[in-house]
Amino acid sequence: MAAQVVWFKRDLRIHDHAPLREAAGRGPVLPLYVAEPELWSLPDASGRQWAFCAESLADLRVQLAALGLPLVVRVGGAVEVLEALRLQGLVAGLWSHQETGNAWSYARDRQVAAWARARGLSWRQLPSGGVVRGLHERDGWATLWEERMAQPLLEPPAAVQAQLALAGLEPGPLPSSDDLGLRHDPCPHRHPGGRHEGLRTLNSFLADRGWAYHRQLSSPLSAFEACSRLSPHLAYGTLSLREVVQACRARRRTLGQATDPGTASWRRALRAFEERLHWHCHFIQKLESQPDLETTEAHPAYIGLRQSDPARLAAWAEGRTGLPFVDACMRALIAGGWINFRMRAMLMAVASYHLWIDWRDSGAVLARLFVDYESGIHWNQCQMQAGTTGINTVRIYNPIKQGRDHDPDGRFIRRWLPELSAVPAVHLHETWTMDEVTQERAGCRLGQDYPLPIVDPMEAARQARERVWGLRQGPAFRAIASAIHERHGSRRGSRRRRDRAQTGSPQTTRERPGPRRQPQGHPGQLSLDLGGAWGDPLAGGAEPQIR
């Protein structure tokens, strides 16, 4: 018997799932997940991401079983899998959420749309999160986002017809990393996937961990606990963005009008967290509007500015640049698949300015390492931190200062760089200042146990500043930057106006995510902490800052 096929992609849940609800009202339902080897072979995919996804699929299978439904899993191309099901007489219609993914997923969705049209089948793609398909300008986007977040959460369908047993359809096993051709990718400190884990993480953040989020999210010493850690659950859709926003607002309401310091801290923390939930969609909307931001500089003045440098890229990617705080952050990311927003920004900025690596090369490395990879956020933030947007303040992070500011005692460095565990504190952030006697006493010989810096950080920053700033002069640059800002820049109003929107008062903010892709859309995803965007998403043309 033909069924309504619900194609799960990056929405691995049954709660607040509009396609599942709508399909269930139209007859038997066939829940489908297609594990696409071609997708998982891309440069932005990794074994750690699949491990999280597979755990989330196992959890989804349990959720669907409670509704009397199997999760049918197939390995192959989406079109070939759907066509095989159609030839079995099992496809009456196709349902999914809209996806704003990488260029490959965009092309794949176009192929699926063509397949459905050619066979007279309906494919209904319903909105997900706050990204608006078919939006022609950013004015009013904040209002639309607010309306989406305020809509009631959808409960799972109460009754679902499942007559697939008559067709003898096997649900199929979840493929392994080997089945998908993924390389061995150990990530011992990765957070587990699945909705159950997502809800536990959300509840612990709102009830306990998040009270100082706004103060503690910048330092890797505190961020691993103080940040929400929800970003992979939003990336794979085990939680919907709307339910996270509404849970945050419900928590704010429970605080009441109390004025004690603890309550005031919670209010500020939750306000900061919700703002980053807004930025989450703001960045994805840019890719929805302009898909080539994944591969092409937003401002053409920067095309060809940097070249590939495999040796420097490998040293940076493996945490052996000789810059201790940078290497510690990279090794923590390798081990856990996550690091906080400021350290993401610093890693990308050091690659872009000090090492002068092309943002596409360093961006692909980070994409694979981030379990929470969201291409819409990721590539926009890569460009933002590399200074190629033309509209954002160029920030050249000083890796020595960042280390001293955020790891003054060296605890983070010593944890992730054990070869430096006995290095005296006075030399820890600048190991190259050790003389031979000190190196011998510390058991750390530079160039053998730990590398010398591959660049002089101060001189490299100076040269980068001159190169980048030299391109930002003149009316031609500014005219193009103005057009980019008109298309993609945020014009959020004051905090007072945002708070009025959150409490139901008339929305007065103005935003412009610009002419967007065709209504069919670029099916989406550097990720927020969820926390947040990598760096401060502020537009501006000020002279590059050394941080």
pLDDT for the residue 59 = 98
pLDDT at 109 over 90: yes
- Residue that wins the pLDDT comparison between 535 and 143: 143
Torsion of CA 86, 89, 95, 98, to 10 degrees: 0
d(CA 173, CA 185): 21
Q: Indicate the pLDDT class of residue 520, thresholds 50, 70 and 90.
A: very low
Q: How far apart are CA 371 and CA 206, in angstroms?
A: 22
Biggest distance spanned by C-alpha atoms of the chain:
80
Average pLDDT over residues 84-109: 96
The closest of 116, 160, 165, 203 to 17, measured between CA atoms, is 160
497: confidence class by pLDDT, cuts 50, 70, 90: very low
pLDDT at 145 over 80: yes
Global pTM value: 0.89
* Segment 513-533 mean pLDDT: 34
Question: What pLDDT, on the 0 to 100 scale, is given for residue 512?
Answer: 28
* Residue-wise pLDDT tens digits, 307-333: 899 999 999 999 999 999 999 999 999
Tell me if residue 19 falls in helix, strand or coil. helix
Q: How far apart are CA 285 and CA 511, in angstroms?
A: 11
More confident residue, 270 or 262: 270
Percent of the chain predicted with pLDDT > 70: 88
The span from the CA of 265 to the CA of 247, in Å, is: 18
Q: In the structure, what pLDDT confidence band is assigned to residue 230 with cuts at 50, 70 and 90?
A: very high
pLDDT (tens digit per residue) in 424-463:
999 999 999 999 999 999 999 999 999 999 999 999 999 9
Beta bridge partners of 6: 31, 95
Residue 128 has pLDDT above 50, yes or no: yes
Name the residue among 61, 311, 77, 277 with its Cα closest to residue 174: 61
| Burial class of residue 14, CB neighbours in 10 A (0-12, 13-18, 19+) | buried
Q: Over the stretch 185-197, which tens digit does the pLDDT of each residue have?
A: 999 999 999 999 9
**Tokens coding 536:** 């401060």
The 3-class SS string of 454-495 reads: CCCHHHHHHHHHHHHHHHCCCHHHHHHHHHHHHHHCCCCCCH
Burial class (CB in 10 A: 0-12, 13-18, 19+), 451: middle
Asked if the model's pLDDT at residue 515 lies above 70, the reply is no
Helix, strand, coil fractions of the chain, as percent rounded to 5: 50, 5, 40
Instruction: Write the DSSP symbol of residue 32.
Output: E
- Which domains occur in the chain, in start order? 3-126 (3.40.50.620), 300-479 (1.10.579.10)
The Cβ-side half-sphere exposure at 229, using a 13 Å CA radius, reads 26
Cβ-based neighbour number of residue 254 at 10 Å: 10
pLDDT for 478 beyond 50: yes
Q: How much is the pLDDT for 58?
A: 98
Higher pLDDT, 165 or 452: 452
Per the document, the length of the chain is 547
Q: What is the pLDDT of residues 355-402, one digit of tens each?
A: 999 999 999 999 999 999 999 999 999 999 998 888 777 889 999 999
Pick the residue with more confidence: 502 or 383? 383
Cβ atoms of 474 and 301 closer than 8 Å = no
Contact present, 348 and 381 (Cβ < 8 Å) = yes
Is 53 in a helix, a strand, or coil?
helix
> What pLDDT is stored for residue 137 in this prediction?
81
Instruction: Judge whether residue 496 has pLDDT over 80.
Output: no
User: Does position 514 have pLDDT exceeding 70, yes or no?
Assistant: no
Instruction: Report the pLDDT averaged over residues 264-281.
Output: 95
Cα dihedral 322/328/333/339 (nearest 10) = -120
pLDDT value, residue 507? 29
Q: Give the pLDDT confidence score for residue 118 in this predicted structure.
A: 98
- pLDDT-based confidence at residue 533 (cuts at 50, 70, 90): very low
| Residue 393 pLDDT | 79
Query: 50-82 b/e with 16+ CB inside 10 Å = b?
Result: bbbbbbbbebbbebbeebebbbbbbbebbeebb
Q: Which of 44-53, 138-147, 220-229 has the lowest mean pLDDT?
A: 138-147
**Residues forming a β-bridge with 33:** 8, 73
To the nearest whole number, what is the mean pLDDT of the chain? 88
* DSSP string across 372-403: T--HHHHHHHHHHHHT-SSSBPPEE--HHHHH
Residues 6+ apart with CB under 8 A from 446: 431, 432, 434, 439, 452
Q: In this predicted structure, which of 39-43, 247-251, 258-262 has the lowest mean pLDDT? A: 258-262
pLDDT at 490: 65
Extended strands (E) in 91-227: 91-97, 123-126
